[in-house]
Amino acid sequence: MNMVTFVSRRLVAMVPVLLGVTILTFLLSHVIPGDPARLLVGQKASDEVVKRMREELGLNDPLHIQYWNYLKQLLRGDLGTSIRNRRPVVQDLAERFPASFELTFVSLFICVIIAIPLGILTAVRRNHVVDHVTRVLALLGVSTPVFWWGLLLLLIFYFRLGWLPGPGRIDLAVPPPAGRTGLYILDSLLSRDWRALGSSLRHLVLPAFCLSYVYLAIMTRMIRSSMLDVLNLDYIRTARANGLPERAIIFRHALRNALVPTVTIVGLSFGELIGGAILTETIFAWPGLGSYMVDSVLFLDFPAIMGCTILVCLIYMTANLVVDIAYGFLDPRIRWG
Amino acid sequence: MCPGAAERSYGLREMSPWMKDFLFTIRLVYRNPLAMAGIVIITCLVLVAVFAPLLAPYSPIDISLDERLSPPSASHLLGTDEMGRDILSRVIYGARISIRIAVTVVTIGGAVGSILGATAGYLRGRMGSIIMRVMDMILAFPALVLCMVLAAALGPSLNNALLAIAFVQIPKYARLVHGQALSLREKHYVLAARSMAASTPWIIWHHIFPGCLSSVLVLATMGMGEAILLAASLSFIGLGAQPPEPEWGAMVAMGRQYLMDHWWLATFPGLAILVVAVGFNILGDALRDILDPRLRR
């Protein structure tokens, strides 16, 4: 099986799951207490208006027809209109997406550059002080409520020490960088707007640290345990017996095989990163998808909730797809098997 | 000798394999310091919950406005909140809610998930694959996202949040039990039971479930920690416990508004969540090592 078949098979496998997700979100929007038509026209509207709105929204059609229409709408890229601000949900999501992407990408990057060396180190120096310390940190990482951790960071570094700026993506006095991507760091680099760059970087430190902390802990332990599994294999002993330097054994021979299971775990726990991002964004008033979702949920703005959910699931599934592909690259047995 | 005594003593000597295994596990847990540490934390939680009325110096809900927002002191060890309620007392009563969360979520999620997984694994065929595809669908959602949507649809309350979390946990158990049921169904004793016309529910109950018990136990222990974190997160967002319930996540949410000058409001309930989650996680970790067949014996 070559790479193209491998990837396309994975893509095809995504379709039924994605359909399932839409069925679930569709059904959920129908069990909400309250009439969507009533929500849309407001509490004071007359019954006649509500009736007309129900007709217009197709709420009187049989359920399967309604689902079919919903699906057609989705395929056109129309996620409906937000009840809260009467704007198309797609437009809201497009505005919010870059902020979330920037935050999660930077957090993931921090995780990877710290977790891989730390994981290797703790595997090679098993039961050394570093190993014990990371074990404790990892345990705390998976047990810490993200929202509480974010509040502590704000309390210490913003309120008490005043070292770092508080909520938001950029200082209010600094105009956001001009650019089309909506990623402040990239935009300010491209437009050489150093003031915006500095401000947005400083604003990113606390949320990114808050979010990466949990994930970092899981990742370090995963890399450690898969590294340990590999280091106990026969071919490593053979390499040692042949007198290869330890560094070559670890980096050239062990690491590549140890990365295969790690990559899977990174993908699987991507969901935790998304969950963490929702809470982090809420704490740091980060104008991304997570805080948008929380606002919509509290407002019972169901078109927005559904749109957000579908987008987040799509991102989650794409992340897992990327992981599968990376898996295929790292381990030829999977591609050819 | 009464009839049946010989049979009974025979039964004792030839204990069923999983019973023997279970006793062996308990001995290993006893010898494992990490597992014991987890058990100590969880036992403390249970004791605090049971004896909350005796331990708490004040009522967890009575308002006393002239004492509002007072910092930790001798009379209020952890200070008071925006309504003048004693935070220590609220944290103590919160232990009851945490246990309710852990037990409800794991019981519902574990039971439904195990039954679905065992049925799918034992029956295989179309029924089995339909069940497992539905489980995959649920897993396509990040846990917190699905919890939020479900809790919002059901209406914000602690019980609804627990239902939502339990629902999200179902596929984890289903997948685990499904995998094990697939291999257990080929065992000779299952074949023997089937050849004697044992009914499917009987076989699942007597042969499939006991075989999955140890790994379900590990998942359930870790699941309790996760359930507490998720429930606290939902309450923090505003979709779980509602005021004035002394739920830890909701307390942190309330404390957030007073964070700048009154740090104790959010700090202590959050610390309680952390400690309890650590307890369940180290116990789960230790149990996994103990029950891992590769590391056993």
Identify the pLDDT of residue B6.
44
Q: Tens digit of pLDDT for each residue in B180-206?
A: 898 888 888 888 998 998 898 999 998
Residue A156: Cβ within 10 Å count: 14
Domains of chain B in start order, with CATH, are: 27-56+96-296 (1.10.3720.10)
Identify the pLDDT of residue B234.
92
Q: Which of A215, A265, A143 has its CA nearest to residue B222? A: A143
Best B101, B133, B146 member to test A by mutation, with max A CBs in 10 Å, is: B146
Q: Is the pLDDT of residue B256 over 60?
A: yes
**Do the domain assignments include residue A181?**
yes
SS (H, E, C) A69-102: HHHHHHHCCCCCECCCCCCEHHHHHHHHHHHHHH
B153 vs A32, A154, A270: nearest CB: A32
ipTM of the complex: 0.83
* Cβ(A123)–Cβ(A115) below 8 Å: no
Shortest Cα distance from A182 to chain B (angstroms)?
24
**Do the domain assignments include residue A155?**
yes
CATH code assigned at A117: 1.10.3720
Residue in chain A closest to B136 (alpha carbons) equals: A17
Identify the pLDDT of residue B70.
78
Q: Is the pLDDT of residue B264 over 60?
A: yes
**Do the domain assignments include residue A146?**
yes
Provide mean pLDDT across the span B290-294. 71
Q: Tens digit of pLDDT for each residue in A101-126?
A: 899 889 988 988 888 888 888 888 88
Of residues A37 and B233, which shows the higher confidence score? Answer: B233
Check if B37 contacts A (Cβ < 8 Å).
Answer: no
- Is A143's CB within 8 Å of B238's CB? no
Q: Which of A144, A161, A141 has its CA nearest to residue A205? A: A161
A287-308 in b/e form (b: 16+ CB < 10 A) is bbbbbbbbbbbebbbbbbbbbb
Identify the pLDDT of residue B10.
45
CA–CA dist A197, A181 (Å, integer): 14
Residue in chain A closest to B140 (alpha carbons) equals: A313
Q: Is the pLDDT of residue B1 over 60?
A: no
Chain B hits for A297, CB-CB cut-off 8 Å, are 148-149, 151-152, 237, 239
Angle between helices A255-268 and A89-124 (to 10 degrees): 140
What are φ and ψ of residue A80, in 5° steps? 90, -175
Identify the pLDDT of residue B4.
45
> B86: helix, coil or strand?
strand
Cα Rg of chain B, angstroms? 23
Tokens representing residue B44 in the block: 């403390």
**Do the domain assignments include residue A19?**
no
CA–CA dist A207, B133 (Å, integer): 36
| Average confidence score pLDDT of chain B | 85
Q: A18-32, A161-175, A243-257, B107-121 — which one is most confidently predicted on average? A: B107-121
Residue B293: which pLDDT band, with cuts at 50, 70 and 90?
A: low
**Do the domain assignments include residue A216?**
yes
Residue A34: which pLDDT band, with cuts at 50, 70 and 90?
A: low
Provide mean pLDDT across the span B118-147. 88
**Do the domain assignments include residue A185?**
yes
**Do the domain assignments include residue A60?**
no
Q: Is the pLDDT of residue B283 over 80?
A: yes
> B293: helix, coil or strand?
coil
Check if A66 contacts B (Cβ < 8 Å).
Answer: no
Residue B248: which pLDDT band, with cuts at 50, 70 and 90?
A: very high
Compute CA distances B10 → A43, B15, B188, B193, whole Å.
74, 8, 22, 21
Identify the pLDDT of residue B14.
59
Provide mean pLDDT across the span A17-32. 81
Q: Tens digit of pLDDT for each residue in B87-121?
A: 899 999 999 999 999 999 999 999 999 999 999 99
Q: Which of A185, A201, A183, A207 has its CA nearest to residue A107? A: A207
Q: Is the pLDDT of residue B161 over 60?
A: yes
**Do the domain assignments include residue A45?**
no
| Average confidence score pLDDT of chain A | 83
Q: Tens digit of pLDDT for each residue in A279-324?
A: 999 999 899 999 999 998 888 788 888 888 888 888 888 888 888 7
* Cβ(A199)–Cβ(A98) below 8 Å: no
Best A142, A146, A147, A211 member to test B by mutation, with max B CBs in 10 Å, is: A147
Q: Tens digit of pLDDT for each residue in B3-57?
A: 444 444 444 455 666 677 778 878 887 888 888 889 999 999 999 999 988 888 8
Q: What residue numbers bound the domain in which A186 lies?
A: 96-286
Q: Tens digit of pLDDT for each residue in A213-272?
A: 878 887 888 888 888 888 888 888 888 889 888 888 888 888 878 887 777 777 777 777
Check if A151 contacts B (Cβ < 8 Å).
Answer: yes
Query: How many domains does the structure of chain A reveal?
Result: 1
Lowest mean pLDDT among A4-8, B40-44, B262-266: A4-8
Identify the pLDDT of residue B109.
94
Q: Is the pLDDT of residue A90 over 80?
A: yes
Q: How many residues would you count in chain A?
A: 337
Percent of chain A exceeding pLDDT 70 equals 95
CA–CA dist A173, A169 (Å, integer): 12
